[in-house]
Amino acid sequence: MTGGPLGSVAGLRDALESAWRRSDEIFALLTDAAWYERPIALRQPFIFYVGHLPAFGWNQVVRGVLGRPGFRPELDALFARGIDPVGVDRYEPDKPTAWPAPAEVLAYRDRVRGALRAAFDDVAALADRDVLAERGRVWRLVLEHEVMHHETLLYMVAQLDRRLLRPPAGAWVRGNGAGLRAAEPGAVDVPGGAVTLGADFAAADFGWDNEFPAHGARVGDFSVDRTPVSNAEFLAFLEAGGYAAAALWTAEDRAWRDRVGCVHPAFWRKDGRGWRYRAALEEVPLDAVADRPVYVSLAEARAYARWRRAGLMSEAEFHRAAEGVPWGDADAANAGFTHLAPTPVGAFPAGASRWGVLDLVGNGWEWTDTPFAPFPGFRAWARTYPGYSADFFDGKHYVMLGGSWATDAALLRPSFRNWFQPHYPYVFAKFRCVVRD
């Protein structure tokens, strides 16, 4: 990254330009016929995200901090919300054919980007009296939101009909872990002790509201898998009848499994040639990625863990297991788009924790069994986005930690918390089993 540290105006500007370039590269993977596709029914079509990313920047910076009116307020509203967006009469977002034409959305995007480029000095002038302008927080908020959606878009792409993708080129032609070797599986004993969750707002350059404040917790002794559960290990569970074994599933998980017909991971499919694996940019035989982490919903992870007579880590246990992990070392994890696919489990020994636990950062978000909830003393500090976390403090979402190969380096910090419902199977999310004393 050029132009100065991320906390400087030049560094923030360069980082945002870099994020925009990656957004454009991801959308360039789609053919024209894919704009209105919804490969995941719980998500909006791709055209929505083309508009959502600039709309978020406008609504946070130009309207939210600078208080200026929009030049296309109906699009600001249409594209404001990434999940369950509030529609407007003109476009009726539930009807894909009624979305704006791509040219209209792209013109909106470009005009918003121009307005954001011109707003840096005006925002900086408010730094001594606006918490959002102080330390460039609102720019970090927009930047991190943009790169979060890179991952969203890529797991949508993974579920898209391959005929609707353009052959990747340039920076997108990268290795998928060939030549890397998986670590030997096994269990690691982690002694109980004190952990720190969260971060201190005054000391942090940036953090989302759910990351604050820092506070202590204690965990007991536990034994945890050295590496995440691999595709091969999960295939053994499937072939042993794990999906059909009612005793392995909670009543709620079982009802979801039966309702949607979940009989294998969302990234797998079976045809006349056997099991196939749907990576973001290619489809390969499952045997070719047998040593990669399996990506599943929390419900599937819980069933597998019961099959193993084990459980899943809590948020606090994750932090205890991750003590000593070099979070900021780009060479110590499969994260930050170094590879464009999962790599063999445990293939980055430099990323081991002090206890020898591997892949806690990168290669897939780590499911925990901790419901997403506010830390004691929680405050929704960003007045422009008060519902970012609070809308999901409902007991129905669970914490994920660590990041995946498609998680931007900006998000690779111990305090960053991701969250999803237990029946959402599309995230690049892995897990491992734990046994407590």
List CB contacts of 174: < 8 A, sequence separation 6 or more: 338, 339, 340
pLDDT at residue number 92: 46
What is the C-alpha to C-alpha distance for residues 60 and 77, in angstroms, rounded to an integer?
12
Nearest to 81 by CA among 55, 42, 112: 55
pLDDT at residue number 281: 87
The full set of domains in the chain, from first to last, is: 9-167 (1.20.120.450), 187-436 (3.90.1580.10)
What is the C-alpha to C-alpha distance for residues 25 and 54, in angstroms, rounded to an integer?
15
pLDDT at residue number 82: 61
3-class secondary-structure state, position 192? coil
What is the C-alpha to C-alpha distance for residues 232 and 289, in angstroms, rounded to an integer?
8
pLDDT at residue number 330: 74
Residues of the chain with pLDDT under 50: 1-4, 84-93, 95-97
Asked whether the whole model's pTM tops 0.85, one would answer: yes
Interval 307-342: pLDDT, tens: 999 999 999 999 999 999 999 887 899 999 989 999
List CB contacts of 51: < 8 A, sequence separation 6 or more: 75, 78, 79, 100, 105, 108, 109
Nearest to 336 by CA among 327, 349, 323: 327
pLDDT at residue number 167: 83
52 DSSP 8-state letter: H
324 DSSP 8-state letter: T
pLDDT at residue number 96: 45
pLDDT at residue number 102: 96
Half-sphere exposure of 351 (CA within 13 A, CB side): 25
Question: Strand locations in 171-323, DSSP E?
Answer: 187-190, 193-197, 215-219, 222-225, 268-271, 274-278, 283-285
